[in-house]
Amino acid sequence: MSLEQVAIGSVARVADVSGSDSTSLRLLEMGLTPGVNVRVVGTAPLGGPLELELRGYRLSIRRHEAARVAIAK
């Protein structure tokens, strides 16, 4: 299951970030590392970016980026 599929208000633990390109590296740099808990706060209308809360701050990422983040509930 990926972070893109997590329901709003739910908490999930990051298991892995797939890929070895600049997007994957950037997701890791923003704090989406294995083991961190992430809460899905909301989403923009019409399937826009996801708003996440992790490590004491909020982060918005695109859905195709969230699809690269594997989670373990």
- Domain boundaries along the sequence of the chain: 3-72
Tokens at 34, concatenated:
């294995």
pLDDT (0 to 100) of residue 9: 96
Tokens at 7, concatenated:
């329901």
Where residue 53 falls (left for φ over 0; alpha for ψ -120 to 50; beta otherwise) is beta
Encode pLDDT of 20-34 as tens digits. 999 999 999 999 999
Place 14 in a pLDDT band, splitting at 50, 70 and 90: very high
Tokens at 55, concatenated:
């490590």
Q: Whole-angstrom Cα distance, residue 41 to residue 21? A: 27
pTM comes to 0.90
The CATH code for residues 3-72 is 2.30.30.90
The number of residues making up the chain comes to 73
72, 12 in Cβ contact below 8 A?
A: yes
Tokens at 4, concatenated:
């893109």
